Structure 1
Amino acid sequence: MAENEDGQEKSEEATSRRLQEARDKGQVARSRDLGTTAVLLSAALGLLIVGPSLIRGLSSIMTRLFSIERDQLFDSNSLFTVWGVVIADIGLPILGFIAFLALVSFIGNIVVGGISFSAQAMMPKGSKMSPLTGFKRMFGLQALVELTKGIAKFSVVALSAYFLLSFYFPDILNLSQDHLPGNLMHAMDILWWIFMWLCCSTIIIVIIDVPYQIWNHNKQLRMTKQEVKDEYKDTEGKPEVKSRIRQLQHEISQRRMMAEVPKADVIVVNPEHFAVAVKYDVNKAAAPYVVAKGADELAFKIREIAREYDIAIVSAPLLARAIYHTTKLEQQIPEGLFTAVAQVLAYVFQLRQYQKGRGRKPTPIPLNQPIPDEYKKY
């Protein structure tokens, strides 16, 4: 298991942040052998496509040059004519062939790791110019792996080339007995098959190299448990800081809620443990809604503010608990509690009229109002 400088095991997979930081630095999984094999195979395919055109072009040029007349040797214009024939017959196919190879080379090198452009990777680094660092790279484990891969690739290609040349050797000797342009077509055919099989031999290397490069890249980015914890603290914040932030947010929310208590029409209490401030404003909502609620000490503060601003306090234990547990701030009362809340509001409004001398004293509402079973909270 890999270890860091502190001796801790890098047993954890790299986090998304670690992967993104590595990508920003240009550290992505790459398989040079995949790009090389893609170029070689595309070259074989390109030769198969443009090979006949090149052979016809070369044959035409050779025929023209070997049949040139004496007068044309002293004519400067004929030289430019020959160059025009060369460009038309073999120049354009070769340019198309090169453009095709460049495209395949680009695609082959981004299949593993994708497109990555990093300005940090292009910046000069002193560590890269350090002789000691270079010595470690030359004789380190990674250098040994690369040396082994190089020997394996050379062995595979050399053995493939030996068997292919042995197989096609009689055909190569017979080329001297053919005539133009047949011998050129035959030579191109032999060359293509040898080249094609050599390219295919490198697929064995790619099959091994691609998984290894991905595995090695992930291994290098692995993290220790402490690094994961430190990163979590950096991204999510330290637990004590987050706790303090939540505490401040809670205090701000409570102060904002307490500022709404004087606007309530009635405070429904338990009478000691719960307090719910309810308001009915037809211009804002179709049903009564909760502007503040609290339990224990917070309920005591709500009752204090209600007494300070002369807000009616009604003791209805079942109703207070039901509203507290089922209704959020600024949320309307559930439909199942409409009847009970309407009775409380009616009593409060009648009590206000009585206090102003405009009506008779209302009958106090019962302490235990009928509450649907699904809203009862004990």
Structure 2
Amino acid sequence: MAENEDGTEKSEEPSEKKLRDAREKGQIPRSKELTTLLMTLSAAVFLYLYGAQMMNDFETLLTRGLSFSRDVAFDQKKLADLIIAIMIEGILMILPFLLLMLFIAIVSPMLLGGWAFSTKAMAPSFSKLSPIKGIKRIFSAQALMELFKALAKFLLVISMATAFLYMIFSEVLGLGVEPKDFALAHSGKIIVEAFIFVSLSLLVVALVDVPFQLWNHNRQLKMTKQEVKEEFKQQEGNPEVKGRIRQVQREMSQRRMMQKVPEADVVITNPTHFAVALKYDPENMSEPVVVAIGSDFMAAQIRTIAQEHNIMVVEAPPLARALYYNAEVDQPIPYDLFKAVAAVLAYVFQLKEHGSAQDVDFQNLPIPENVRTE
């Protein structure tokens, strides 16, 4: 099991956020052995397919460079032109091989960890200069794996080279009795085949290294239970902070609601448990709107503000309960309560305009059963 520096056990799999943060820091699985295998194997195959043609082109180029006329030898401009032309042809001759190696060097690391560019990985880190951490890295699983790979590569390459040499030993001895041109071509073929054969030995190392790098990367990113909890808090938000935010939001909403109570035309109460303030302007509004709703302490505050601003308070318990449970602040009253509210508003406006109004039975207002609350 992986452990933190403080000894706590890393038993939890890395989260998506941990993996994403690691990628941003340039910490992704990489296998140098896979890259080495693909580059050497690609080079060997390329030389096997096009090596003979490259050698013929090189021979032609070398002949041109060493067999020029006397006029060219004593003319600096012609000699310079010849050298430049030979250099350009030489570069163009090996350019496909160089481009192939560049392509493999770029693509092969992406096969394991994908593409990732991080400036954080290039930033200096003083923690890397720590002698204690340096000693830990020397005796880490990664260091032991690197040592094992180095020994394995050495033994595999030696073994494969020895086996190949043993298989073609008779051909090597026969090179001495072959014609010069044929012997050179045959030698080149043997060298390229040996290159391919030895390159394949690195396949064994890569097959071991790739799973190890994936495992080691996952092991390094594993998290403790406390880290999982902390990350969850960061993503979901600290419950205490979220609760405090909700409380502040409620308080701000209540303050705004209380500031609108003086605009109300009537406050309907339970009489003590609930209070609902309504506003209705026949000229500018198509239906009454709820400006404040409260229960218990909030209801008492609404009643107090209403009394301070000479807003009529009507005790209609059934209507107050129905509005409290079915209406919303800054929204029109529910359609089912239009008749009951209209009766209250008519009573209030009659009192304001004429000083008297027809008696209304506020205990028995027309409230449908689907919105009635006992």
1:142 aligns with 2:142: yes
* Alpha carbons of structure 1 residues 228 and 71: separation in structure 2 relative to 1, 3 Å: same
Q: Does 2:204 align with 1:208?
A: no
Are 2:358 and 1:362 aligned? yes
Deviation string 1:63-96 (CA, Å, 9 cap, x unpaired) is 5467x37747954567546535533543213234
- Find the residue that maps to 1:367 and give its secondary structure: helix
Contact map agreement 1:12 1:225 (CA 8 A) in 2:
yes
**Match of residue 125 from structure 1:** 126
* Unmatched 5+ stretches in structure 2: none
> What is the one-letter code of the residue matched to 1:301?
Q
CA contact (8 A) 1:293 1:329 kept: yes
What is the TM-score with the length of structure 2 in the denominator? 0.80
Contact 2:26/2:116 (8 A) holds in 1: no
**2:2 aligned counterpart, secondary structure:** coil
Alpha-carbon distance change, 240 to 184 in structure 1, aligned in 2, over 3 angstroms: same
Contact 1:351 1:362 in 2 (8 A): no
Q: CA deviation at 1:301?
A: 1.4
Instruction: Give, in whole Å, the separation in 1 of the partners of 2:141 and 2:52.
Output: 48
| Aligned counterpart, 2:100 | 100
* Gap runs ≥5 in structure 1: none
Give 1:115 shift. Answer: 1.5
Aligned pairs (5 A) from 1:321-332: 321-332=321-332
After superposition, where does 1:234-313 map in structure 2 within 5 Å?
Answer: 239-281=239-281, 286-313=286-313
- Residue among 346, 368, 375 paired with 2:371: 375
Shift in alpha-carbon separation, 1:22–1:62, aligned structure 2, 3 A: closer
Q: RMSD in angstroms over aligned alpha carbons?
A: 3.7
TM-score after normalising by structure 1: 0.79
Q: CA deviation at 1:322?
A: 3.3
What is the rounded CA distance, in whole Å, between the counterparts of 2:282 and 2:100 in structure 1? 74
CA, structure 1 residues 190+296, in 2 after alignment: closer, same or farther (shift >3 Å)?
A: farther
Deviations 1:114-138 (A, max 9, x none): 32323464415265263x5434332
Tell me: CA distance 1:75–1:170, structure 2 relative to 1, closer, same or farther (3 Å).
farther
For the Cα contact (< 8 Å) 1:57–1:89, is it kept in 2?
no
Displacement after TM superposition at 1:169 (Å): 5.1
CA contact 1:55–1:184 (8 Å) conserved in 2: no
Deviations 1:39-65 (A, max 9, x none): 334434544675455233123235546
Which residue identity does 2:273 align to in structure 1? H
Kindly tell me: are residues 285 and 172 of structure 1, through their superposed partners in 2, closer, same or farther at Cα, counting changes over 3 Å?
A: farther
Name the CA distance, whole Å, in 1 between partners of 2:186 and 2:283.
95
| Aligned-partner SS, 2:276 | strand
One-letter amino acid of the counterpart of residue 288, structure 1: P
Write the deviation string for residues 223-255 of structure 1: whole angstroms up to 9, x where unpaired: 222334445566766554544443333222211
Alpha-carbon distance in structure 2 between the residues aligned to 1:314 and 1:149: 89
Three-state SS of the structure 1 residue aligned to 2:324 is: helix
Distance 1:273 1:198 in 2: 90
Q: Distance in 1 between matches of 2:14 and 2:183?
A: 59
1:208 partner amino acid: V
Aligned 1:52-91 pairs, distance under 5 A: 53-64=53-64, 68=67, 71=70, 74-75=73-74, 79-80=79-80, 83-84=83-84, 86-91=86-91
3-state SS of paired residue (2:218): helix
Give the Cα–Cα distance (whole angstroms) in 1 for the partners of residues 114 and 80 of structure 2: 48
Q: Distance in 2 between matches of 1:320 and 1:227?
A: 51
Which amino acid in the other structure matches residue 297 of structure 2?
A: E
Q: Specify whether residues 170 and 262 from structure 1 end up closer, same or farther in structure 2 by C-alpha distance, changes over 3 A only.
A: farther
TM-superposed deviation, 1:367: 2.5
SS of 2:142's equivalent in the other structure is helix
Query: Residue 344 of structure 1 contacts residue 365 of structure 1 at CA under 8 Å; is this kept in 2?
Result: no
Q: Which residue of 2 aligns with 1:43?
A: 43
